Amino acid sequence: MRRRRNELLSAAREVFQVPAEQVALKSRERGKGGSKYGRFEQRGEFVLVRENDALLRVNLFDYLDTGLFLDHRPLRWHMAKEAQGKRFLNLFCYTGVASVQAAVAGAASTTSVDLSGTYLQWCADNLALNGKGGSQHQLIQADALAWLEAERHRFDVIFCDPPTFSNSARAEDFDVQREHVRLLRAAVARLSPEGVLYFSNNFRRFKLDEEAIKEFAECREISADTIGEDFERNPRIHRAWELRRYGA
């Protein structure tokens, strides 16, 4: 495996005429304590990329994840178009790319919620790159589930892409399989009458509790429509659903 990897790296450098120090290799291997997400390097370098009409900052070297989940590109584009002139909520927002896409597409407002101050700052930087900011684009550092259950404002388009599992000293432990009905119930309660909720996760063994969700929302799976051509060989990269209030 290591020899094949080195051969691929060598071929990539030769074909694209890229020096070795500009090639970023990521390998999802468990480190000490079983973690897959430790720091790789400490360059602190960001590269600007463009997705649709938005500029975004990515970090190719320091961590396993770069700040941009490529598999959600088609869904982000769909939501951005739907969010034009509407109130957009991004839960577990990570670096806020979905919020940026919605803002650039003309959303009336965006609200981005994440427990990580680092990711929220990254989100703010991404918004600023595109000339977006101020009270129209709120950044909220909070446990997304707890915030949802306390929030009273309504939103027209909601994106909810939770982690499979998370634990933090600042919030309750979260398990998407265990908590998804509670999470979706709280999110649907914040939809406007004609609003739509897009729920996605990448837990391979995830099973949606359809019977429980039928109690409070219309739900249909849209996974096949959200997988781009570059992920067709791995269609299980994520699953996605569209939820609406009854009578919408």
Q: What CA–CA distance (Å, rounded) separates 37 from 26? A: 11
Predicted local distance difference test score (pLDDT) of residue 32: 43
Question: Does residue 33 sit within a domain?
Answer: no
Q: What CA–CA distance (Å, rounded) separates 62 from 55? A: 20
36 vs 146, which has greater pLDDT? 146
Question: Does residue 177 sit within a domain?
Answer: yes
Question: Does residue 93 sit within a domain?
Answer: yes
pLDDT of residue 75 exceeding 90, the answer is yes
Predicted local distance difference test score (pLDDT) of residue 27: 65
How large a percentage of the chain has pLDDT more than 70? 92
pLDDT of residue 31 exceeding 50, the answer is no
Predicted local distance difference test score (pLDDT) of residue 13: 80
Tens of pLDDT, residues 170-197: 777 899 999 999 999 999 999 999 999 9
What residues make up the domain containing 116?
69-244
Question: Does residue 210 sit within a domain?
Answer: yes
Question: Does residue 79 sit within a domain?
Answer: yes
pLDDT, mean of residues 49-75? 95
Predicted local distance difference test score (pLDDT) of residue 23: 75
At residue 139 the predicted structure's pLDDT band, cuts being 50, 70 and 90, is: very high
Question: Does residue 153 sit within a domain?
Answer: yes
pLDDT, mean of residues 235-241? 94
Predicted local distance difference test score (pLDDT) of residue 26: 65
Mean pLDDT of the chain: 91
Tens of pLDDT, residues 80-132: 999 999 999 999 999 999 999 999 999 999 999 999 999 999 999 999 999 99
pLDDT of residue 39 exceeding 60, the answer is no
At residue 34 the predicted structure's pLDDT band, cuts being 50, 70 and 90, is: very low
How many structural domains is the chain composed of? 1
- Tell me how crowded residue 22 is: count the other CB atoms within 10 A of its CB: 11
- Range of lowest pLDDT (43-47, 117-121, 154-158): 43-47
pLDDT, mean of residues 21-27? 70
pLDDT, mean of residues 9-15? 81
**In Å, what is the CA distance from 124 to each residue of 139, 166, 167, 245?**
8, 23, 24, 31
pLDDT of residue 38 exceeding 70, the answer is no
Question: Does residue 31 sit within a domain?
Answer: no
CA proximity to 236, closest of 224, 220, 248: 224
Question: Does residue 120 sit within a domain?
Answer: yes
Alpha helices in the chain (DSSP H): 2-16, 73-82, 97-105, 117-129, 144-150, 176-188, 210-213
Q: What CA–CA distance (Å, rounded) separates 217 from 199? A: 12
CB 92 within 8 A of CB 246: no
Task: Give the 3-state secondary structure of residue 47.
Answer: strand
Tens of pLDDT, residues 208-233: 999 999 999 999 999 999 999 999 88
CATH number for the domain spanning 191: value is 3.40.50.150
